[in-house]
Every structure is written in structure tokens, then in C-alpha cells.
Chains A and B, each alone.
Chain A
Amino acid sequence: MYTYTDFDEAFVRERCKQFRGQVERRLDGSLTEEEFRPLRLMNGLYLQLHAYMLRIAVPYGTLRADQMRQFAMIADKWDKGYGHFTTRQNLQLNWPKLKDIPDILDALADVQMHAIQTSGNTIRNVTVDHFAGASADEFEDPRPTAELIRQWSTDHPEFQFLPRKFKIAVTGASTDRAVIRAHDIGLEMAEKDGQPGYRVLVGGGLGRTPMIGQEIRDFLPKADLLPYLEAIVSTYNVLGRRDNKYKARIKITVFENGIDTYRTLTEEEFQRTRAKFSGVDQEILADIETQFALPPLKDSDASALEAAIAVDPMLGRWVARNTATHKHDTHAIVTISLKEHGKTPGDATSAQMRVMADLAEKYGYNELRVSHEQNIILPHVAKSDLPAVFTALSKAGLATANAGLTSDIIACPGMDYCALATARAIPVAEKIALRVKELDLEDEIGLMKIKISGCINACGHHHVGHIGILGLDRAGVENYQITLGGDGTEHAAIGQRAGPGFAYDEVVPAVERLLKAYLEQRDSAEETFLDAYRRLGADPFKEALYGEASQTAA
């Protein structure tokens, strides 16, 4: 894992010092809110519905045990003893006080962490596949690339005031677990004629105008990455609209100008940017890569696991659901579910954070990941250690065996916390999870991605949910639109709106009808909801939602 250089350390400390001064000046009245707001946003500090919110960066979702433990300490000392892991692989604290923020940032810096560029119209935390460096289907670890991008984009003088926020995701595996097609820039590690590089996508995004990213370069040699990214973002910085906030993202710029024009302009700019790069970035990258080497894995006897499963079916169920195939068959990737039925998706108490940190230290080579699906990952666990990990997680309420199932729901904070929200998202997720548990249908349903957003900005990724739920304010009442058939993987698709929305009390029964319609109509247990939707089309699902009359009315 990446360790700060002296430069990183000095930079983060200097930023802490600056922000401490800015907070002091805000409190003594020398800065107005108008002047202070952009400064606090640059450091991840929002003012939400009930309190301030601090969004802490977890670069590319990777962290060490001591960093997770520090989150727990901060949550206990300056917040209410819990934190919320987000779809940008970050951590949000929901109740900090303004005067404490400088101390929190210092405490983060003590473990090489920060909240820089987690907000504002800048390049945000780069996200990657949460199984990076571990998954059997990966051909190259995307994290060194993400770290290089972090270094390049942090405080980049040209990109501090972009037309809008800018999000980059990277994957190095055949299965896209990083939703790269819904990002401003999506990078797919690739190889051509034996040379490493990237396939580059641009102009994806969710929000009020969801779009799937388009290919701007089928192959970019590895050494050209930063100059090419600089060319893309520079082109956007000049061409992107600043007259209308809702048309300011690069997806609109690409859409309005066309991908071919955007490519031509980028390639022209690239000729200039490439000349400015001396190659020192590739030297830095080579050094970064050594820091992400797979830790030396211990020997593991899988027969011990089999014996334990034979006497403990709960362990067997958890291993089947919550572990994924590691590139070394002696090990497994563990998904720690933060989706206990009826609980807030993505939340962990400080006690749970400490348990996860301890397990990472004891069994996980000191590595943890935050997934964009709001779970925590232990990327390398010896199979023989899985029973011990399961036992410890069970005691902490962290062993829910539901990874990838119906209750493994993404939900944004919604109107329970967010000042922008138009409806609640969390209680809808809680109620759906409790209902499927009550019906005991999750295992039968199998793979299911339900994603819920509490406003049109789509932080809950509802557009790419197999079932997407969007909470809106309709004439002063919460109302929920359902979209169907969304997909965030390499087969990315934007979900289609099923029809009129549902009241708060109606949305869980509506989802239940969808699930039952799927079970009735699938051709086999192997056919997932999404496959069935693609085969059957929307009609049978619309009928389940609205009754037969809807078919003629629609």
C-alpha cells in the first residue's frame, strides 16, 4: 500500500494549517459564509440538514488497519460514534462541529489521510475496483494508476475551478465492479501488442441526465496517461458550459459537441500536453507500483475450511455469499456486509470499525477496502482463517450473508441527512431489506442490485440498479419512481422508468410485486432478474407494478 512521501506529508500538514486559520477567521467574523464556503468545500466540509458533514477521502477505497481505527477514534471523540461509507468509497461523518474540524483533519493527517477534493468542482477521489490487487479476473492492479492520478490531480492549478465536479474510475479486471461507464472518465487497463495501456471512456455519468461513457481512445499507451487525461480535462475546462449548473458536466459537453469533435479537440490538446511531460511521472509510477505488490501470502490448508463448513451451515452460507475468488486459490476475498437487515446501508459503528481493523491486522495483511456498494472488503484472507473471521464478524453484527443479494442495497443519505435531498432513501432500503428477510426470498432471488437515491442527483446510483428507486417531492409529498433494467457493469445500461411513482408506504409492496413477478416468470433459477428483464421486456414487470390496465394505458 502507498505510504506518504515527505512531500505528501508536508502538503497535507500545510493544508490542515491553512484550514485551521480559515476556520478561525470564519469564527471571528473576518470571513463571510460566502467567502468561507468554497474553502470548506475544498476540504470536504458540507453543511447538511441537521449538522455539518465531513467527507473524508479514502483514496481508491484502500486503507490500513490503523487508518480504520483512527476513523473509530474520530467518530467517538468528535462525532456520534459511527460513520457512513459512501458510493465514492469515502467516509462521511454526520455530526461534527465546525470548531472541531481542524483537530479532526490533524488526526486524519496523523494516519496519512485527509478530506481534500472530496467536494467542489475539482477532480474527486479516484475510485477503483474494490477487489483490486486480489481478484482472480484481474489482469492488472488499477491502484497504482489511481494513486498517480491522485498525485497529479491534487491541487492541480488548472483544475481547481472546473465547470463542475469531475470523477474518474479505473478497473483492471474483466468484470467492471467500478462502474467506469458512469464516470466522467473511465479507464480500463488494457494491453496492445504486448504493451500496457488503457482503453479510455469519457462522458459517462448519472444525475439528472444519465449517460453511458463513450470510447475516446481504444488504446492509450501507459506512459501517455497523464498528458492524455490533462488534454481531456483541459478541453472540458475550456469547452464545458458554465452558464447552467445542470449542463456543466463533461457528459453534456461530449453530448452537445459529439464524441468525434471532442476526440479531435482532445487529441490536438494532447500534442501540446505530451510535450510538457518529461517522463518523470512514469518514474514515480514505477515506484508507486512497487508499493502495491501483493503481500507474501501465507500457506493455507483449505481442508480446514471444508471441515468447519461441514459442521456449521451458517459459515457455509456466508462463505458462499460473501467471499469471492482470489487470484491465489489458498485465499479468498471477504465482503464484510454493512447491510444488516433493517440497518442503514453503509453505516458502521466505531466498535465495528475496530473489529474490522483488528481482523485486517490479524488475518488480512493489514488491508481493507471500501466498496462503492457501501461494504468493507478484506482483500486477502487465507481460506483456513475464514471460520475465525466469520466468528468475529458474527459477534459484531457484521456477518450478514447477503453480498450481491436483494438486501445489499445502495442508498444515499437522502432527506435524513442531505440538504439537497427531495425524499428519504435510508428507511426505504431498511424496509425492503426487512421485507425480503421476512419473506425469506433472498437466496431464491439470487443476484439483485437495488439502488436508491433521494434526489435526482443520483448519489445512490439508481439509474444502474436492476431495480432503481428515485425519491422525489411531488406536491409536498414523498414519491418514488421505479426504474428497471439498469446495469453498472461492463454491460452498462440506464434503467427505464416503469411508470408513475409510488407513495412512501407503497414503494416496498411495489418492489415485492416486482420480485415475485420475476420469480414466477424466470425460465430457471440461473436466470437473474436482469436477464429475465432483458428477455421479457418491461411489460410483465409493469403489470406487476400497476396491474393489467397499465398495459393499455401505457
Chain B
Amino acid sequence: MSLGHQLIKEQLFFRKELKERVFWFIKLRWIAIAGAALCSYALFFLEPGLPVFPMIILILGVAFYNILFLFTWLRLKSFPSERVRPFEIFAHIQIVFDLVAYLFFIFLTGGIQSPFLIFVIFHIILAGILLSPVSCFIISGLVVLIFAGLMALEHTTGLPRPPGFFQNTLLTGDLEFPGALFVFLILAAFILISAFLTTSIKLSLRVKGRELLKVSKALEISNAKLMTLYEMVKEMGSLYDLQKLMDTATRNSAVITGVKGCSIKLLDEKREKFSSSYGLSEDDIAKEAINSKKEGMAAVMCLPLKVKTLLLGDICFYSEAPLFFDAEDKVFFSLIADLTALGIETINRELNKSWFLAKAAHQLRSPMNAIHTMLDMLQKGFQGPVSEKQKETLNRCNTRIKLLGDMIHDLLKIGMRRTETNHSGVLPVDITLLLQKLTDLYSPRALEKNITLTLQTAADIPRIYADEQLLDDLFSNLISNALKYTPEKGEVRIAVSMEDHCRIKFQISDTGIGIPEEDLPNLFSEFFRSENARAFTENGTGLGLVIVKEALDILKGTMAIESTLGQGTCFTCRFPVGSASRQPPLCR
């Protein structure tokens, strides 16, 4: 099979090209027919002696078979591009029909001396473009033979020639040997060189096209790899659990690179164990080593997981194909390793940061808790009776200590919140359930003050994707505030409902002391407390509403406050049911 054929068969691109060219050929023929008809019409007036009638017959014949070709094309059009054969046959038929029509045309316009003899070049070029190189050369050879035959016939039998209007300037006079042979050889060379040039150019173009296809395919593959890598990094960015992050990395890395398995080992106290693995058998994971024979692993590549000079561990890729990894792959695999290392380090840093704050909270609270418990013990008479005056002092100590505890708690809470970067919830939060829990939690405090605490939840509250801790901070601070600033026998009402299907409306109203209007602008400033609040209770840090405001800002919510001094306050918070990507379509 010729190279041209192979190329046509192999590449869908060229198959499509053949399909398109076959139709283009039919269209081109209409132009030729129109041109020939126009010329014949003009000649009818200019040279009445010319054989215009046979010419018209020829034109009608070509038009007729072109109509047939058009119908054939319409039928072939629905054939899948992979089926090349019918199009090849169709192209050959067209070329042969045109060759016959052309020869008839030559005969009518002066035989071997027709000035249209030179038009053979178009035929050869078209055959070169449309057919395989072999077919093109066969057609060209055939043309040369026909011309030789025509010359011989005209010379020996005196084939009748049309009138001399069309006398070819190249081939004037009688065709005598050896002059005629010389002319014929030039003609033959002209035809064959044209065929050669056309097929060579076409082949060279196809080779280039093939290379282009290869490059484009390679680009497509690396684009797909990079897209998957991007998705992996995106997924890793949304995680704040180290194990989940490593599992995502090993799973995606194996899928992207097409290897059988992937593992991560971290340099920690469990350094001998796989921290995460994908595609490895339970047995290997348990033994912490790969049984390459049993697993059919033929190649392995391990790369360090490091961020700058900090070595975190290693990531290994296992392939069933021997010599799977080459130098080029190393660049891409290193990219995966670096991105994974960066993800691990980011989570580690976050963990260290939040652990530091958690430990700081613990260390600050420990001595305070001990003092608190000792005071409690004294006050409750565990070490003997306490006088009323002593009890009162101990009570004061307890209150102040508790305030100090609250202050530490709130400060650390704000510190923690401001250092956290990831607030997106991964699990849906049931607000109704959360509020029920908080109401239960605060019920004893309400009972102490004889306050009626009620919770009213609408039935259509959806679960929302948000950081549950943020919602907890928001609700618990507002509930605790309401209970704190409501006198005994008062009322605190909590209500949650949906607003336009996109937002949740949380409302907490109390029959408390109220907020002076002039204090409203300062309400969310750190350590601010209204005069009346200070007078009512010293038990307040001035940080609760700061926490509320910051939580609400992260939740992208809004707040409205209505308050009447001495009658009560109503806080109304509105926040979307999910982060931007998890919003219902209508709410985006």
C-alpha cells in the first residue's frame, strides 16, 4: 500500500479532507460547464463553421453525469468518515469520466493541435490532489499514452480534425518524425513532472499535517493532564484534613499519570508506614512494602515531597509497564510531588497555628480553672463552714475569675478566627438541630433567671453548607447576650425561617434592658459596653458582638437591630443558604 494511501486511511483528518474534496470537485465541474457553455455560445456567432452542436452535446453530457455525481454524493454524505473506500472509488470514477470528456473536448477543438491540450495540467493537478500518488501516476501515464495514440492516429489514418480556428501554435504543421517525437516527449515530460510535483507537494503537506496532528494530540493529552492536575489542586485547596488531602493526592496522581498505584510516606514518627496509598493491595499496605512480583509492578519512581529545603516525605508511583518512566515524565511527576508537598505543608501550618492557639487557651485556662474550682470548693463548704461575709467575697472572686475566663475565651476565639483561612463547611449543617442543641444548652441559665426561652423553627429550613463553628458562635453569643441582659421573669424568643428560598432569617428578641440609640454605632467595637449594660451586669467582655459580627461577615450575612430602651432588643440576621458555589441556581 502506498504511503499516500496509508496516510489517508490512518488520519481521520485526511478522511474528512477526501470527503470534502470529492464534493468540491462536483462544484468545480459546474463552473467548467458554465464556462464551456458560454464560450460555445460566443463561438456560434463568431465562427459558424465550428462544431458547436457536438460541443453542446458534450457539455450536456458532462452536466448530466455531474447531476448523477451530485446524487451519489448526497447518498455518500451520510457515510461515516471512517469508511474511505466508497469516496476513493467515487473520486476515481469522477477523474475517469472527466478524462473521457476532456479527450472528447480535445478532439472537437482540434485534436492534438487543440490549444486546450495544455488544460491537461488541471486534470493532472486534480488527480494529484484527489487520488493516491499511484493512481495519479497511472492517470498521467494513461494520458501520455492516449496523446501518443492520438498523434499516431492523426498521423497514420488522417483522423478528421475540426477547422483550424483552434490551431495550436506549438504543434502547427504536419507531425513528422523525429520532430513529432520530440514534441511528444516534451508533452509527456510536462505531464509526468506535473504529476510528480503535485503528488510530492501533497505528500509533504500530509506529512506536515500528520506531525501537526501528533503535536496537537500530545498537546491535548498534556492539556487534559494539566486540567486534572488543576482539579486535584482545587480539591486539595478545599480540604483541611491532612489524611483526606493525601488520599486525594495519591488517587488523583495515579489517575492523571496512568500508573497502577501511588503512595505517600511522611517523615514523622510513623515514617515506616504509608501515610496514604492508592491502587496498592491491603497486603502491601499492611506489610508496608511492595511485593513487586505479586503485584506485577515493573517500574517505580519515587520523588521527594519537599517545600524549598524542608523535606516532608516521599511520593512513589508504581507502574505495571517496564521502563514506564522517562526523563520527560520526571518533570511532570515532580510537579505533582511539589504541589502535593505544598498542600501538606499548608495544612500542617494551619494545624500548628490552630493547635498553638488551642494550647495557649488551655494553658491560660488551666490555672484559672484550678482557682475557680478551689473557690467553688471553699464557697460550698467542702472545707468547713464559711461565713456569709466570706461567702460574699468568694462569690466576688468567682465572678471576676469567670469574667477573666470569658475574656480569655473570647480573645482566643477572635484570634483563632482571624488566623483561620478556611471557613467553608464540608458537611451540611442542620440549623434546626444546632439551634435545638443550643437552646437545650442555655435552658438551665434561663431557668436560673426564670426567663422563658422559646425556639420557633420553620419546617422548610434546608441544611446549609457553612462552617458549623461559625454558626455556633453567631447563635450562642446572641442567645447568651439576650439571656444576660434580660431581667428575671422575662422572655427570649428565637425564630428561624427562610427568606426568598435563598437566605435564612435568624431572629432573637428579648424583653431586656435595650440598647441606647447613640450606642448602636459602637456596638461591634472591641471591648465596648453600653452604660446601661455595665450597670446591669459586670459580667460581659465587650467581645461577644465582635465575634458575632466577624462570624456573620464570613457567612456573608447582614444584621439589623431594633431596640427600645427598657423594653427589649431584636437582632435579625440574614445569611445565604450556602457559599457561592453551593448556592441554589436561582440565588446566584
Q: Note whether A and B form a binding pair.
A: no
Q: Which residues of A contact B (CB under 8 A)?
A: none
